[in-house]
Structure 1
Protein backbone atom coordinates (compact mmCIF):
# COMPACT_ATOMS: atom_id res chain seq x y z
CA UNK A 1 0.00 0.00 0.00
CA UNK A 2 1.00 3.64 -0.30
CA UNK A 3 1.93 5.10 3.07
CA UNK A 4 0.78 8.63 3.84
CA UNK A 5 3.45 10.20 6.02
CA UNK A 6 3.67 13.81 7.16
CA UNK A 7 4.50 16.35 4.47
CA UNK A 8 6.43 19.50 5.44
CA UNK A 9 4.37 21.57 3.00
CA UNK A 10 1.04 20.51 4.56
CA UNK A 11 1.58 22.37 7.84
CA UNK A 12 -1.01 24.69 9.39
CA UNK A 13 -0.80 27.19 12.24
CA UNK A 14 -3.87 28.17 14.25
CA UNK A 15 -4.22 30.87 16.86
CA UNK A 16 -6.80 29.00 18.95
CA UNK A 17 -8.60 25.66 18.67
CA UNK A 18 -10.58 23.35 20.92
CA UNK A 19 -8.32 20.37 20.15
CA UNK A 20 -5.71 20.01 17.42
CA UNK A 21 -6.45 16.26 17.33
CA UNK A 22 -10.13 16.90 16.66
CA UNK A 23 -9.34 19.63 14.12
CA UNK A 24 -7.07 17.36 12.07
CA UNK A 25 -9.49 14.40 12.19
CA UNK A 26 -11.81 16.35 9.87
CA UNK A 27 -12.11 14.26 6.65
CA UNK A 28 -11.48 17.41 4.63
CA UNK A 29 -7.96 17.65 6.07
CA UNK A 30 -5.79 15.35 3.89
CA UNK A 31 -3.44 12.68 5.22
CA UNK A 32 0.08 14.02 5.60
CA UNK A 33 -1.20 17.22 7.21
CA UNK A 34 -0.02 18.57 10.54
CA UNK A 35 -0.98 21.53 12.67
CA UNK A 36 0.32 23.59 15.56
CA UNK A 37 -1.77 25.95 17.67
CA UNK A 38 -0.93 28.83 19.96
CA UNK A 39 -3.82 27.94 22.26
CA UNK A 40 -5.89 24.80 22.86
CA UNK A 41 -9.00 25.03 25.02
CA UNK A 42 -9.96 21.34 25.27
CA UNK A 43 -6.79 19.33 24.78
CA UNK A 44 -7.10 15.55 24.69
CA UNK A 45 -5.24 13.21 27.03
CA UNK A 46 -5.34 9.45 27.33
CA UNK A 47 -8.65 7.90 28.33
CA UNK A 48 -10.92 10.57 29.78
CA UNK A 49 -8.00 12.81 30.74
CA UNK A 50 -7.38 16.26 29.34
CA UNK A 51 -4.03 17.71 28.29
CA UNK A 52 -3.30 21.03 29.97
CA UNK A 53 -0.62 23.06 28.22
CA UNK A 54 1.54 25.01 30.64
CA UNK A 55 3.54 28.20 30.38
CA UNK A 56 3.96 30.92 27.80
CA UNK A 57 5.63 28.75 25.14
CA UNK A 58 3.94 25.38 24.71
CA UNK A 59 4.12 23.15 21.65
CA UNK A 60 0.61 22.00 20.67
CA UNK A 61 0.88 19.68 17.67
CA UNK A 62 -1.15 17.09 15.76
CA UNK A 63 -0.42 15.14 12.59
CA UNK A 64 -2.41 12.68 10.48
CA UNK A 65 -0.92 9.65 8.71
CA UNK A 66 -2.09 6.36 7.16
CA UNK A 67 -0.30 3.03 7.70
CA UNK A 68 -0.66 -0.64 6.82
CA UNK A 69 -2.18 -2.47 9.78
CA UNK A 70 -0.34 -5.66 8.83
CA UNK A 71 3.10 -4.06 9.26
CA UNK A 72 2.73 -1.74 12.25
CA UNK A 73 2.29 -2.43 15.97
CA UNK A 74 0.38 0.50 17.50
CA UNK A 75 2.03 0.16 20.95
CA UNK A 76 5.41 0.18 19.22
CA UNK A 77 4.39 3.17 17.09
CA UNK A 78 3.49 5.08 20.25
CA UNK A 79 6.87 4.51 21.89
CA UNK A 80 8.71 5.30 18.63
CA UNK A 81 6.87 8.62 18.36
CA UNK A 82 8.06 9.33 21.90
CA UNK A 83 11.59 8.53 20.79
CA UNK A 84 11.27 10.88 17.78
CA UNK A 85 10.20 13.65 20.15
CA UNK A 86 13.05 13.00 22.59
CA UNK A 87 15.61 12.87 19.75
CA UNK A 88 14.31 16.26 18.55
CA UNK A 89 14.57 17.65 22.07
CA UNK A 90 18.17 16.45 22.42
CA UNK A 91 19.07 17.84 18.99
CA UNK A 92 18.06 21.36 20.03
CA UNK A 93 18.77 21.10 23.75
CA UNK A 94 21.72 18.70 24.20
CA UNK A 95 22.02 19.77 27.85
CA UNK A 96 18.84 17.78 28.51
CA UNK A 97 20.64 14.49 27.81
CA UNK A 98 21.30 13.96 31.51
CA UNK A 99 17.80 14.56 32.89
CA UNK A 100 15.18 14.03 30.17
CA UNK A 101 13.83 10.57 29.34
CA UNK A 102 10.96 8.58 27.84
CA UNK A 103 8.39 7.30 30.31
CA UNK A 104 6.79 4.27 28.70
CA UNK A 105 4.45 4.18 26.88
CA UNK A 106 4.26 7.74 25.60
CA UNK A 107 5.43 10.57 27.85
CA UNK A 108 8.60 12.64 28.18
CA UNK A 109 9.87 13.40 31.67
CA UNK A 110 12.49 15.82 32.95
CA UNK A 111 13.88 14.22 36.08
CA UNK A 112 10.66 12.67 37.42
CA UNK A 113 8.17 15.28 36.23
CA UNK A 114 6.23 15.33 32.98
CA UNK A 115 7.14 17.84 30.27
CA UNK A 116 5.40 16.25 27.28
CA UNK A 117 2.54 13.90 26.51
CA UNK A 118 1.71 11.99 23.33
CA UNK A 119 -1.70 10.72 22.29
CA UNK A 120 -1.92 8.32 19.34
CA UNK A 121 -5.49 7.72 18.13
CA UNK A 122 -6.25 5.26 15.35
CA UNK A 123 -9.11 3.91 13.25
CA UNK A 124 -8.90 0.56 11.51
CA UNK A 125 -10.46 0.66 8.02
CA UNK A 126 -10.02 -2.00 5.31
CA UNK A 127 -6.64 -3.20 6.49
CA UNK A 128 -5.14 0.21 7.23
CA UNK A 129 -4.73 2.43 10.28
CA UNK A 130 -5.75 6.04 10.01
CA UNK A 131 -3.62 7.56 12.76
CA UNK A 132 -3.72 10.94 14.49
CA UNK A 133 -0.65 11.85 16.54
CA UNK A 134 -1.10 14.52 19.20
CA UNK A 135 1.87 16.01 21.05
CA UNK A 136 1.91 18.57 23.85
CA UNK A 137 5.26 19.89 25.13
CA UNK A 138 5.78 22.53 27.81
CA UNK A 139 8.86 24.48 26.68
CA UNK A 140 9.01 27.29 29.22
CA UNK A 141 6.89 29.09 31.76
CA UNK A 142 7.07 31.19 34.87
CA UNK A 143 5.05 28.90 37.13
CA UNK A 144 3.22 25.57 37.37
CA UNK A 145 -0.33 25.45 38.79
CA UNK A 146 -0.36 24.37 42.41
CA UNK A 147 -2.20 21.10 41.72
CA UNK A 148 0.43 20.05 39.14
CA UNK A 149 3.65 21.09 40.91
CA UNK A 150 4.48 17.53 41.94
CA UNK A 151 3.71 16.12 38.49
CA UNK A 152 4.74 18.58 35.77
CA UNK A 153 7.53 20.98 34.88
CA UNK A 154 9.06 22.83 31.92
CA UNK A 155 11.68 21.55 29.51
CA UNK A 156 13.72 24.77 29.37
CA UNK A 157 15.08 27.06 32.05
CA UNK A 158 14.70 30.14 29.85
CA UNK A 159 12.63 31.30 26.89
CA UNK A 160 13.31 29.78 23.49
CA UNK A 161 14.51 32.08 20.74
CA UNK A 162 12.57 33.60 17.86
CA UNK A 163 11.88 30.99 15.19
CA UNK A 164 13.00 28.10 17.41
CA UNK A 165 9.49 26.66 17.67
CA UNK A 166 9.15 26.47 13.89
CA UNK A 167 12.58 24.88 13.50
CA UNK A 168 11.76 22.40 16.25
CA UNK A 169 8.48 21.39 14.59
CA UNK A 170 10.04 20.99 11.15
CA UNK A 171 12.69 18.69 12.63
CA UNK A 172 10.02 16.77 14.56
CA UNK A 173 7.96 16.16 11.39
CA UNK A 174 11.01 14.56 9.75
CA UNK A 175 11.69 12.57 12.93
CA UNK A 176 8.15 11.18 13.07
CA UNK A 177 8.39 10.04 9.46
CA UNK A 178 11.75 8.40 10.14
CA UNK A 179 10.27 6.61 13.17
CA UNK A 180 7.56 5.08 10.97
CA UNK A 181 10.07 4.04 8.30
CA UNK A 182 12.24 2.42 10.98
CA UNK A 183 9.28 0.32 12.11
CA UNK A 184 9.23 -1.39 8.72
CA UNK A 185 12.76 -2.79 9.19
CA UNK A 186 12.98 -5.30 12.03
CA UNK A 187 16.76 -4.96 12.37
CA UNK A 188 16.37 -1.20 12.79
CA UNK A 189 13.54 -1.70 15.28
CA UNK A 190 15.79 -3.67 17.61
CA UNK A 191 18.54 -1.06 17.28
CA UNK A 192 16.18 1.77 18.15
CA UNK A 193 14.70 -0.19 21.07
CA UNK A 194 18.18 -0.31 22.58
CA UNK A 195 18.36 3.50 22.29
CA UNK A 196 14.89 3.87 23.80
CA UNK A 197 15.73 1.61 26.74
CA UNK A 198 18.95 3.57 27.34
CA UNK A 199 16.81 6.74 27.54
CA UNK A 200 13.98 5.21 29.58
CA UNK A 201 12.82 6.64 32.89
CA UNK A 202 11.76 3.13 33.93
CA UNK A 203 15.10 1.44 33.17
CA UNK A 204 15.80 -1.01 36.02
CA UNK A 205 13.05 0.58 38.10
CA UNK A 206 10.65 -1.35 40.32
CA UNK A 207 7.03 -0.62 39.46
CA UNK A 208 3.64 -1.56 40.83
CA UNK A 209 0.57 -1.93 38.65
CA UNK A 210 -2.72 -3.72 38.20
CA UNK A 211 -2.46 -6.84 36.03
CA UNK A 212 -4.88 -9.71 35.53
CA UNK A 213 -7.22 -8.15 38.14
CA UNK A 214 -4.55 -8.06 40.84
CA UNK A 215 -1.75 -5.75 41.98
CA UNK A 216 1.72 -6.91 40.99
CA UNK A 217 5.15 -5.49 41.73
CA UNK A 218 8.26 -6.14 39.68
CA UNK A 219 11.49 -4.87 38.13
CA UNK A 220 11.41 -3.49 34.59
CA UNK A 221 13.39 -5.65 32.15
CA UNK A 222 12.84 -3.60 29.00
CA UNK A 223 10.50 -3.19 26.03
CA UNK A 224 9.81 -6.03 23.60
CA UNK A 225 9.52 -5.92 19.81
CA UNK A 226 5.80 -5.14 20.02
CA UNK A 227 6.19 -2.19 22.40
CA UNK A 228 5.06 -4.04 25.54
CA UNK A 229 6.81 -3.37 28.86
CA UNK A 230 8.47 -6.48 30.29
CA UNK A 231 8.68 -6.87 34.06
CA UNK A 232 9.84 -9.63 36.39
CA UNK A 233 7.54 -9.90 39.39
CA UNK A 234 8.55 -10.56 42.97
CA UNK A 235 7.47 -14.18 42.49
CA UNK A 236 9.72 -14.65 39.45
CA UNK A 237 6.92 -14.41 36.88
CA UNK A 238 7.72 -12.57 33.63
CA UNK A 239 4.76 -10.53 32.39
CA UNK A 240 4.05 -8.14 29.51
CA UNK A 241 2.21 -4.85 30.01
CA UNK A 242 0.46 -3.32 27.01
CA UNK A 243 -0.45 -0.11 28.82
CA UNK A 244 -0.37 1.55 32.21
CA UNK A 245 -3.29 1.28 34.61
CA UNK A 246 -4.50 4.05 36.95
CA UNK A 247 -2.60 2.20 39.70
CA UNK A 248 0.71 2.17 37.82
CA UNK A 249 3.51 3.73 39.88
CA UNK A 250 7.26 3.61 40.39
CA UNK A 251 8.40 2.32 43.77
Structure 2
Protein backbone atom coordinates (compact mmCIF):
# COMPACT_ATOMS: atom_id res chain seq x y z
CA UNK A 1 0.00 0.00 0.00
CA UNK A 2 1.44 3.38 -0.99
CA UNK A 3 1.09 5.96 1.75
CA UNK A 4 0.81 9.61 0.76
CA UNK A 5 2.16 11.68 3.61
CA UNK A 6 2.71 15.43 3.64
CA UNK A 7 5.51 16.85 1.51
CA UNK A 8 7.23 20.12 2.38
CA UNK A 9 7.41 21.13 -1.30
CA UNK A 10 3.62 20.84 -1.73
CA UNK A 11 2.78 23.75 0.55
CA UNK A 12 0.46 26.66 -0.26
CA UNK A 13 -0.07 30.05 1.39
CA UNK A 14 -3.42 31.81 0.98
CA UNK A 15 -4.36 35.32 2.05
CA UNK A 16 -7.99 34.39 2.70
CA UNK A 17 -10.19 31.31 2.28
CA UNK A 18 -13.61 30.18 3.46
CA UNK A 19 -12.21 26.93 4.89
CA UNK A 20 -8.74 25.41 4.43
CA UNK A 21 -10.24 21.95 4.86
CA UNK A 22 -12.72 22.53 2.05
CA UNK A 23 -10.07 24.15 -0.15
CA UNK A 24 -7.68 21.23 0.12
CA UNK A 25 -10.37 18.59 -0.40
CA UNK A 26 -10.68 19.70 -4.02
CA UNK A 27 -9.80 16.74 -6.26
CA UNK A 28 -7.29 18.87 -8.16
CA UNK A 29 -5.13 19.20 -5.03
CA UNK A 30 -2.80 16.16 -4.81
CA UNK A 31 -2.26 14.06 -1.70
CA UNK A 32 0.72 15.26 0.30
CA UNK A 33 -0.37 18.88 -0.07
CA UNK A 34 -0.84 21.30 2.80
CA UNK A 35 -1.99 24.87 3.15
CA UNK A 36 -1.85 27.73 5.63
CA UNK A 37 -4.08 30.79 5.39
CA UNK A 38 -3.87 34.26 6.88
CA UNK A 39 -7.66 34.43 7.22
CA UNK A 40 -10.48 31.90 7.26
CA UNK A 41 -14.07 33.11 7.01
CA UNK A 42 -15.96 29.86 7.63
CA UNK A 43 -13.68 27.56 9.60
CA UNK A 44 -15.04 24.13 10.41
CA UNK A 45 -15.20 22.48 13.80
CA UNK A 46 -16.49 19.10 14.85
CA UNK A 47 -20.11 18.32 14.05
CA UNK A 48 -21.97 21.53 13.28
CA UNK A 49 -19.48 23.67 15.18
CA UNK A 50 -17.27 26.33 13.65
CA UNK A 51 -13.64 27.10 14.40
CA UNK A 52 -13.04 30.73 15.27
CA UNK A 53 -9.47 31.94 14.87
CA UNK A 54 -8.54 34.54 17.47
CA UNK A 55 -5.90 37.22 17.73
CA UNK A 56 -3.27 38.61 15.42
CA UNK A 57 -1.17 35.43 15.11
CA UNK A 58 -3.34 32.40 14.31
CA UNK A 59 -2.23 29.20 12.59
CA UNK A 60 -4.84 28.07 10.06
CA UNK A 61 -3.59 24.79 8.55
CA UNK A 62 -4.89 21.82 6.57
CA UNK A 63 -3.08 18.81 5.15
CA UNK A 64 -4.20 16.00 2.85
CA UNK A 65 -2.95 12.42 3.20
CA UNK A 66 -3.87 8.89 2.12
CA UNK A 67 -3.45 5.87 4.39
CA UNK A 68 -4.44 2.20 4.50
CA UNK A 69 -7.77 1.67 6.25
CA UNK A 70 -6.70 -1.82 7.37
CA UNK A 71 -3.85 -0.51 9.51
CA UNK A 72 -5.22 2.71 11.01
CA UNK A 73 -7.80 3.42 13.71
CA UNK A 74 -9.33 6.82 13.01
CA UNK A 75 -9.94 7.63 16.70
CA UNK A 76 -6.29 6.81 17.37
CA UNK A 77 -5.20 8.89 14.37
CA UNK A 78 -7.09 11.86 15.80
CA UNK A 79 -5.35 11.72 19.18
CA UNK A 80 -1.95 11.11 17.53
CA UNK A 81 -2.47 14.19 15.34
CA UNK A 82 -3.20 16.15 18.52
CA UNK A 83 0.00 14.86 20.08
CA UNK A 84 1.94 15.88 16.96
CA UNK A 85 0.63 19.42 17.35
CA UNK A 86 1.65 19.42 21.02
CA UNK A 87 5.16 18.19 20.16
CA UNK A 88 5.54 20.99 17.62
CA UNK A 89 4.44 23.49 20.27
CA UNK A 90 7.01 22.16 22.75
CA UNK A 91 9.72 22.30 20.05
CA UNK A 92 9.27 26.05 19.57
CA UNK A 93 7.88 27.03 22.97
CA UNK A 94 9.44 24.71 25.59
CA UNK A 95 8.07 26.91 28.36
CA UNK A 96 4.61 25.67 27.46
CA UNK A 97 5.39 22.14 28.67
CA UNK A 98 4.33 23.16 32.18
CA UNK A 99 0.78 24.17 31.26
CA UNK A 100 -0.20 22.94 27.78
CA UNK A 101 -1.92 19.58 27.19
CA UNK A 102 -4.05 17.51 24.86
CA UNK A 103 -7.73 17.33 25.73
CA UNK A 104 -8.96 14.04 24.31
CA UNK A 105 -9.75 13.51 21.54
CA UNK A 106 -8.51 16.53 19.58
CA UNK A 107 -8.12 19.85 21.38
CA UNK A 108 -5.10 21.70 22.73
CA UNK A 109 -5.45 23.46 26.09
CA UNK A 110 -3.31 25.90 27.99
CA UNK A 111 -4.35 25.53 31.59
CA UNK A 112 -8.11 25.06 31.52
CA UNK A 113 -8.71 27.08 28.33
CA UNK A 114 -8.61 26.08 24.70
CA UNK A 115 -5.87 27.35 22.40
CA UNK A 116 -6.22 24.92 19.50
CA UNK A 117 -8.52 22.51 17.77
CA UNK A 118 -8.06 19.65 15.32
CA UNK A 119 -10.60 18.39 12.78
CA UNK A 120 -9.87 15.09 11.04
CA UNK A 121 -12.17 14.36 8.09
CA UNK A 122 -11.93 11.10 6.14
CA UNK A 123 -13.45 9.32 3.17
CA UNK A 124 -13.20 5.56 2.69
CA UNK A 125 -12.59 4.24 -0.83
CA UNK A 126 -11.28 0.85 -1.96
CA UNK A 127 -9.55 0.02 1.29
CA UNK A 128 -7.95 3.41 1.91
CA UNK A 129 -8.76 6.49 3.94
CA UNK A 130 -8.41 9.83 2.22
CA UNK A 131 -7.81 12.11 5.18
CA UNK A 132 -7.86 15.87 5.61
CA UNK A 133 -6.33 17.17 8.83
CA UNK A 134 -7.38 20.68 9.84
CA UNK A 135 -5.53 22.45 12.64
CA UNK A 136 -6.22 25.81 14.23
CA UNK A 137 -3.95 27.37 16.86
CA UNK A 138 -4.33 30.79 18.44
CA UNK A 139 -0.74 31.84 19.13
CA UNK A 140 -1.14 35.44 20.24
CA UNK A 141 -3.71 38.18 20.45
CA UNK A 142 -4.59 41.29 22.35
CA UNK A 143 -8.27 40.57 22.80
CA UNK A 144 -10.70 37.67 23.24
CA UNK A 145 -14.43 38.19 22.55
CA UNK A 146 -16.47 38.34 25.76
CA UNK A 147 -18.44 35.10 25.06
CA UNK A 148 -15.14 33.16 24.83
CA UNK A 149 -13.15 34.69 27.68
CA UNK A 150 -13.92 31.79 30.04
CA UNK A 151 -13.20 29.18 27.37
CA UNK A 152 -10.30 30.33 25.20
CA UNK A 153 -6.87 31.87 25.55
CA UNK A 154 -3.63 32.32 23.58
CA UNK A 155 -0.61 30.08 23.49
CA UNK A 156 1.97 32.90 23.71
CA UNK A 157 2.43 36.02 25.79
CA UNK A 158 3.87 38.09 22.94
CA UNK A 159 3.59 38.33 19.14
CA UNK A 160 5.43 35.75 17.06
CA UNK A 161 8.81 36.72 15.68
CA UNK A 162 9.05 37.03 11.92
CA UNK A 163 9.20 33.66 10.17
CA UNK A 164 8.14 31.58 13.20
CA UNK A 165 4.73 30.72 11.73
CA UNK A 166 6.29 29.29 8.57
CA UNK A 167 8.95 27.40 10.54
CA UNK A 168 6.28 26.05 12.86
CA UNK A 169 4.26 24.78 9.87
CA UNK A 170 7.30 22.96 8.52
CA UNK A 171 8.00 21.34 11.89
CA UNK A 172 4.34 20.41 12.14
CA UNK A 173 4.58 18.54 8.82
CA UNK A 174 7.48 16.50 10.20
CA UNK A 175 5.61 15.69 13.42
CA UNK A 176 2.35 14.86 11.64
CA UNK A 177 4.10 12.45 9.29
CA UNK A 178 5.88 10.82 12.21
CA UNK A 179 2.58 10.40 14.04
CA UNK A 180 1.17 8.42 11.10
CA UNK A 181 4.32 6.30 10.79
CA UNK A 182 4.14 5.53 14.52
CA UNK A 183 0.63 4.14 14.06
CA UNK A 184 2.04 1.33 11.91
CA UNK A 185 4.15 -0.04 14.78
CA UNK A 186 2.15 -1.41 17.72
CA UNK A 187 5.13 -1.13 20.04
CA UNK A 188 5.56 2.53 19.15
CA UNK A 189 1.81 3.10 19.56
CA UNK A 190 2.02 1.94 23.17
CA UNK A 191 5.06 4.17 23.85
CA UNK A 192 3.35 7.18 22.30
CA UNK A 193 0.16 6.53 24.28
CA UNK A 194 2.19 6.74 27.49
CA UNK A 195 3.54 10.12 26.34
CA UNK A 196 0.06 11.31 25.40
CA UNK A 197 -1.42 10.26 28.74
CA UNK A 198 1.40 12.08 30.55
CA UNK A 199 0.41 15.23 28.64
CA UNK A 200 -3.35 14.76 28.88
CA UNK A 201 -5.68 17.34 30.38
CA UNK A 202 -7.96 14.49 31.50
CA UNK A 203 -5.29 12.50 33.33
CA UNK A 204 -6.84 11.18 36.58
CA UNK A 205 -9.79 13.56 36.13
CA UNK A 206 -13.41 12.73 36.96
CA UNK A 207 -15.72 13.38 34.03
CA UNK A 208 -19.44 13.25 33.37
CA UNK A 209 -20.85 12.36 29.97
CA UNK A 210 -23.80 10.88 28.14
CA UNK A 211 -23.23 7.21 27.27
CA UNK A 212 -25.77 4.83 25.75
CA UNK A 213 -28.61 7.32 26.38
CA UNK A 214 -27.77 7.82 30.04
CA UNK A 215 -25.52 10.08 32.07
CA UNK A 216 -22.47 8.47 33.66
CA UNK A 217 -19.73 9.80 35.90
CA UNK A 218 -16.32 8.25 36.39
CA UNK A 219 -12.57 8.59 36.62
CA UNK A 220 -10.41 8.59 33.51
CA UNK A 221 -8.13 5.55 33.35
CA UNK A 222 -6.36 6.36 30.11
CA UNK A 223 -6.55 5.85 26.34
CA UNK A 224 -6.56 2.38 24.78
CA UNK A 225 -4.74 1.17 21.66
CA UNK A 226 -7.70 2.15 19.45
CA UNK A 227 -7.85 5.70 20.78
CA UNK A 228 -10.91 5.21 23.00
CA UNK A 229 -11.06 6.96 26.38
CA UNK A 230 -11.31 4.45 29.25
CA UNK A 231 -13.55 5.40 32.19
CA UNK A 232 -14.26 3.64 35.49
CA UNK A 233 -17.72 4.73 36.58
CA UNK A 234 -18.94 5.32 40.12
CA UNK A 235 -20.61 1.90 40.02
CA UNK A 236 -17.41 0.11 39.03
CA UNK A 237 -18.34 -0.27 35.38
CA UNK A 238 -15.52 0.12 32.86
CA UNK A 239 -16.63 1.89 29.69
CA UNK A 240 -14.97 3.02 26.47
CA UNK A 241 -15.77 6.38 24.89
CA UNK A 242 -15.18 6.80 21.16
CA UNK A 243 -15.99 10.51 21.22
CA UNK A 244 -17.25 13.26 23.48
CA UNK A 245 -20.94 14.10 23.70
CA UNK A 246 -22.30 17.67 23.99
CA UNK A 247 -22.80 16.93 27.69
CA UNK A 248 -19.20 15.87 28.30
CA UNK A 249 -17.62 17.85 31.15
CA UNK A 250 -14.83 17.67 33.69
CA UNK A 251 -16.10 17.56 37.26
Give the shorter-chain TM-score range. Answer: over 0.9
Tell me the equivalent position of 1:8: 8
Output the CA distance in 2 between the equivalents of 1:122 and 1:113.
Answer: 28
Tell me the equivalent position of 1:32: 32
What SS class does the counterpart of residue 91 from structure 2 fall into?
A: helix
What SS class does the counterpart of residue 22 from structure 1 fall into?
A: helix
What SS class does the counterpart of residue 139 from structure 1 fall into?
A: strand
- Alignment of structure 1 residues 1-251 onto 2, 5 Å: 1-251=1-251
Residues 148-174 of structure 1: per-residue CA shift (max 9 Å, x gap): 001000000001100000110000001
Output the CA distance in 1 between the equivalents of 2:143 and 2:166.
Answer: 24
Gap runs ≥5 in structure 2: none
State the TM-score, normalizing by the size of structure 1. Answer: 1.00
RMSD: 0.3
What SS class does the counterpart of residue 61 from structure 2 fall into?
A: strand
- Count of residues in correspondence between the two structures: 251
State the TM-score, normalizing by the size of structure 2. Answer: 1.00
Q: C-alpha displacement at 1:49, in angstroms?
A: 0.2
Q: C-alpha displacement at 1:55, in angstroms?
A: 0.1
Q: C-alpha displacement at 1:216, in angstroms?
A: 0.1
Output the CA distance in 1 between the equivalents of 2:78 and 2:212.
Answer: 23
Q: C-alpha displacement at 1:102, in angstroms?
A: 0.2
After TM superposition, the runs of 4+ consecutive aligned structure 1 residues lying more than 3 A away are: none
Output the CA distance in 1 between the equivalents of 2:181 and 2:60.
Answer: 24
Residues 38-92 of structure 1: per-residue CA shift (max 9 Å, x gap): 0000000000000000000000000000000000000000000000000000010
Output the CA distance in 1 between the equivalents of 2:21 and 2:177.
Answer: 18
Gap runs ≥5 in structure 1: none
